[in-house]
Amino acid sequence: MSLLRNPMIRKELRQRLRERRGWVLPTLYILLLSSVILFAYSEESGRQSMPNGVQGAEIGVAIFLGLIFTQAIVLLLMAPVFSAGGITIEKEQRTFAALLTTLLTPGDIWWGKFVSSLLYLLLLLSCSLPLLALSFAFGGVEPKEVLEATGYTILSLGAVCSLGLLCSALFRRSVHSTAAAYAVVLILTVVTAILFFYLQERWHSEARDWAGMPDPIHVQGPLLLNPIYPLLTLTGGAEFPYALSSCLLFAAMLLLAAASTMRLLKRSGEQV
């Protein structure tokens, strides 16, 4: 079965887009990003009155950074909602047995659930592209940076969705799997940041000539698991030089969670 001609994808997308949130969420999402643009614009243009003034490029960068961080955070918070219920909903509505006794392989089921949960987030992400393009009007931002930011966000969302599906395969009820997926997101975002600041503090107190140098890999290590880290490399390239390592870690996380989910699906007949 080809990757896109998967009956699970069609079914899932039909079901998702028939839900009220199918159109409510994109609307709220666009409204939120629009308010971020307005806020960034008014903050930066407010500084025009200051002695040095600001360039249009600075407004463009402010809009760009405001948007990419806001959308990354909002989508990371939404990812568990769309992925962590993927398999538990089949268990809860008692359709899992019928699914497991078709000719769909665990790989087909995982791929269908993964693509459908990610596609909805990508729909939201694509909604924000015209808004991101606004920053071009002010200058200071190149299309390459927009593409990189979008690519990093998609990769981290893919990893979180894959982890959410793993939680969904592990638990019987959506409420439990969603809570577990949020715990994972919390660990990846907040706990890694706290750990990084702790290690950085220790290193700064121990090392003498650290000023102006990026933190070494053993200090930035926990932060590489933070989905926001690759975006930081866009803003402070010299300070956060390990974007590729972080991306590889997220790709590995995605694949490992996918393999574990498929393994669980293969043996999940006892759960139906």
Partner 1 sequence: MIELRDLHKSYKRARGLAGFSMHVEKGEVVGLVGPNGAGKTTLIKILATLLRADGGTARLGEWEVTENPEKVRAMVGYLPDVAGIYQDLRIGEFLDFFADAFHLDAAGRSAAVERALESAGLLDRKNEYVEHLSLGWKQRLQLAKTLIHEPKILLLDEPASGLDPLARMAFRDHLKKLRAGGITILVSSHILADLEEVCTRIVFISEGKNVAEPELSGNVSDEFAPTVRCVIEFERSSSAAEIAKAAPGVRLVESTPERLLVAVDGGEKNASLFLQALLNGGVVVSHFDAKGGDLEERYARTFRGVSGKASP
**Is 15 near partner 1 (CB under 8 A)?**
yes
Using CB under 8 A as the binding rule, the residues of this chain from 62 to 91 that contact partner 1 are 90
- Count CA atoms within 13 Å of residue 128 on its CB side: 34
Q: Looking at 33, 37, 87, 104, which residue binds partner 1 (CB under 8 A)?
A: 104
**Is 102 near partner 1 (CB under 8 A)?**
yes
Helix, strand or coil for residue 242? coil
From residue 215 to residue 244, what is the string marking binding to partner 1 with x (rule CB under 8 A)? Answer: ------------------------------
Q: Looking at 2, 49, 52, 93, which residue binds partner 1 (CB under 8 A)?
A: 93
**Is 100 near partner 1 (CB under 8 A)?**
yes
- Say how many residues touch partner 1, by CB under 8 A: 25
- Reported in sequence order, the residue ranges of 3-122 that DSSP labels E, i.e. its strands, are none
Residue 151 is encoded by which pair of tokens? 């690519």
**Is 20 near partner 1 (CB under 8 A)?**
no
Residue 51 is encoded by which pair of tokens? 């002695």
CB of 99 to partner 1, least distance (A): 7
Q: Looking at 2, 3, 18, 212, which residue binds partner 1 (CB under 8 A)?
A: 18
Q: Looking at 50, 103, 211, 238, which residue binds partner 1 (CB under 8 A)?
A: 103
CB of 269 to partner 1, least distance (A): 3
Residue 197 Cα distances to 70, 191, 237, angstroms: 22, 10, 18
CB of 262 to partner 1, least distance (A): 15
**Is 14 near partner 1 (CB under 8 A)?**
yes
> 170-208 burial string, b = 16+ CB within 10 Å, else e?
bbeebeebbebbbebbeebbeebeebbeebbeeeeeeee
Instruction: Report DSSP letters for 39-93, one per residue.
Output: HHHHHHHHGGGSTT---HHHHHHHHHHHHHHHHHHHHHHHHHHHHTTTTHHHHHT
CB of 16 to partner 1, least distance (A): 10
CB 268 within 8 A of CB 169: yes
DSSP state of 94: T
Give residues in contact with partner 1 (CB under 8 A).
1, 7-8, 10-11, 14-15, 18-19, 90, 93-104, 269-270, 272
